[in-house]
Structure 1
Amino acid sequence: MDGVFKAIAGDLGARYMDFRPEHGHQTDLDRGPFILFSYDSDFGNFASLLDREDVKILHLIRDPRDVVISAMHYHKASRESWLHEPIPGYDNLTYQRALQNLPTKFEQYLFEMDNSSASTLRDMERWRYGRANCFEARYEDLRRDEELVTWQRIMTFLGLDAEEQALGSRRFWQNSLFGGLSRLGNKHVRSGAIAQWRREFTPELADAFLKRFPNALQTLGYETNDAWVHELQQPAAPSMFSALRGLAAHHWEGLAGLIRSPSKF
């Protein structure tokens, strides 16, 4: 969305402002058209801006379970500066290093749920839904919107005329995973798939998620109850053959290590 609307702003001659780095500087918003972009659902002291009659909003959410999955993998590898700054309470470790040091994906997901993703999900829950001037969209719908049906509805809602919509459609296609945005070599895209939680979430992880965010899925309309937990597959237990094969491999790796080790005599 950042890439889409930054390009649209350029096409239309509108000011483009990123809320995070320009926080506190959005004071002159009565001078011509503008696009104000925020990565989360919290506009802080500028929340009143959302109630202006001349302002239209596109609010985009994603399945909270996939938010956690995507964020964890992104934070393990991203070069964003905040991930490499020491955080209080973690022995001078950075967020990324603290995450990487955890030995299992289960623990890494828990860390993500207790930290960065926690604020993201709570902001999504606290958002005031039902605003007349807001189009509520879902990542899942846009990810499958190859015919640009949902995107056309969004552009119409935002007040773009036919010529502007043609420009907007081209920009959306250029920045979509089914269009011009390749996953290969893209630092922001690992998968982009919908419902990754079905293969990543175990019953144990689902229980941990529900303890932290008991109402998120119902509030956001992704589930009507907690029955989805019982549909998850238990991790497959290793067969006797694979267990023996793993033991044998470990044994031979140990012998190989002894052979490769220099003599102490």
Structure 2
Amino acid sequence: MTARYICIGTHHKTGTIWMRKVFRAIANEQNIPFMQCYRAKRLEDAAETGPHIIVNWSSSFPKQLINMDHARFLHIIRDPRDVLLSGMRYHRIAPLGNEKFLREERAEWDDLNYQDYLNAMPDDHTRLMFEMENKHDKTVGEMLKWRDLSAGATDRTADIKYEDLIEDTDCAQFRAILEGFAIEGLDIDKAVQSYWDKSLFGGLAKKDDRTDRVALHVASGKKAQWVTKLPREIAEPYAERYADALKTLGYAENSDWVNTCLPAAEIEAKSAA
């Protein structure tokens, strides 16, 4: 069956803002409908002919969409250790209007919201542990859930790591994905240009060219930041909790990586030098 729907699934801090910019640009440039879809009822608004860009920023597409033979899925994950670091940093400064969960107040947080409680903590160790046990745990769970959710669509899915995309500086991998999808009515050359224009290695290489929201989300687009920034004191409990997840997602076969992480005091000394 001819492919018509190109569906983009990400997770929190796995390139969501990047993909939103890219596929919004593709939609605008090529006059392709664009919509978010978290519930099956939303599919009533999907285009009956031609291409349609459908996104879900937690990769929780309704099963009815996943089962459609004319739907293709681009699914992006990221090293959870980097997601932890990026998430904690962003959640301290993110505009509350952009993230509903940051505004939620709880009694166990001294009636503060997520962001205020995070910022009230005495140090980054406490903040990272809090992040790990809350939003981060949910994000890792969503990344793991995708395998079961998409089980019936593996031949129509491109599972890709953020780390590979951020180094796709010649756009070859992105082009290959689109060529494999063969979406009816999609101009691949124009789509690849939009991808370049909205990427940190392309049109957004200069910080002055990034919007305020992109700048808030992106401290650095580099991969494996955990190697130099994740303290041993956090790495050890992280490995105990997420060793299986790291292996399943293809980021670490065992917990030997913990030994590469420096103690917090050494990381701080290197940063101050």
Code of the residue aligned with 1:119 in structure 2: it is: K
RMSD between aligned residues = 2.4
Please say if residues 183 and 189 of structure 1, whose CA atoms lie closer than 8 Å, have aligned partners that are also in contact: no
Separation of aligned partners in 2, 1:102 and 1:191:
24
- Residue 169 of structure 1: SS of its match in structure 2? helix
Could you say which residue in structure 1 is the equivalent of 2:58? 40
For 1:200, the aligned partner's letter is K
Q: CA deviation at 1:133?
A: 0.4
**1:146 partner letter:** T
Match of 1:262 in 2: none
Q: 1:223 to 1:103 in 2, by over 3 A?
A: same
2:173 pairs, out of 143, 150, 156, with 150
Equivalent residue, structure 2, for 1:210: 239
Measured after TM superposition, the shift of residue 105 of structure 1 is 0.9
State the match for 1:51 in structure 2: 67
State the Cα distance separating 1:47 from its structure 2 match: 2.3
Q: Which residues of structure 1 form unaligned runs of 5+?
A: 243-265
Larger radius of gyration: 1
Tell me which residue corresponds to 2:37: 19
User: Aligned to 2:217, what secondary structure does the other structure show?
Assistant: coil
Q: Deviations over 1:129-165 (max 9, x none)?
A: 6611000111111111111111111111221589711
Stretches of 4+ moved more than 6 A in 1? none
Counterpart selection for 1:174 from 197, 200, 218? 197
Following superposition, the deviation at residue 230 of structure 1 comes to 1.7
Look up the match of 1:125: 144
Residue-by-residue CA offset, 1:197-248 (whole Å, 9 max, x unaligned): 011212221122123323111001111111111222234569xxx9xxxxxx
Which residue is equivalent to 2:77? 61
Q: Which amino acid aligns with 1:122?
A: G
Secondary structure of the structure 1 residue equivalent to 2:54: strand
Is 1:141 the equivalent of 2:141? no
TM-score normalised over the length of structure 2: 0.79
The answer on whether the counterparts of 1:183 and 1:190 sit within 8 Å (CA) in structure 2 is no
Aligned residues: 236
Alpha-carbon distance in 2 for matches of 1:180, 1:87: 41
CA distance in structure 1 between the aligned counterparts of 2:34 and 2:71, rounded to whole angstroms: 14
For the 8 Å contact 2:239–2:258, the answer to whether it is kept is no
Partner of 1:56: helix, strand, or coil?
A: strand
Q: How does 1:1-265 map to 2 (within 5 A)?
A: 1-19=19-37, 24-29=41-46, 31-32=48-49, 33-43=51-61, 46-81=62-97, 82=100, 83-128=102-147, 131-160=154-183, 164-181=187-204, 182-184=206-208, 185=212, 186-236=215-265
- 8 Å contact kept, 1:56–1:133: yes
Q: Which residue of 1 aligns with 2:14?
A: none
**Which residue in 2 is equivalent to 1:263?**
none
Q: Percent of pairs identical after alignment?
A: 32
Larger mean CA deviation between 93-102 and 187-196 belongs to 187-196
Aligned pair in 2 of structure 1 residues 233, 188: CA closer, same or farther (>3 Å)?
Answer: closer
Residue of structure 2 equivalent to 1:248 = none
8 Å contact kept, 2:35–2:54 = yes
Amino acid at match of 1:177: L
Aligned to 2:74, the other structure's residue is in SS state strand
What one-letter code is carried by the residue in structure 2 that aligns with 1:231? T
CA distance in structure 2 between the aligned counterparts of 1:167 and 1:174, rounded to whole angstroms:
10
1:114 alignment partner AA: E
Q: Which runs of 5+ in 2 are unaligned?
A: 1-18
* Comparing 131-140 and 224-233, the one that deviates more: 224-233
- Change in Cα spacing, 1:110 to 1:28, as seen in structure 2 (3 Å) is same
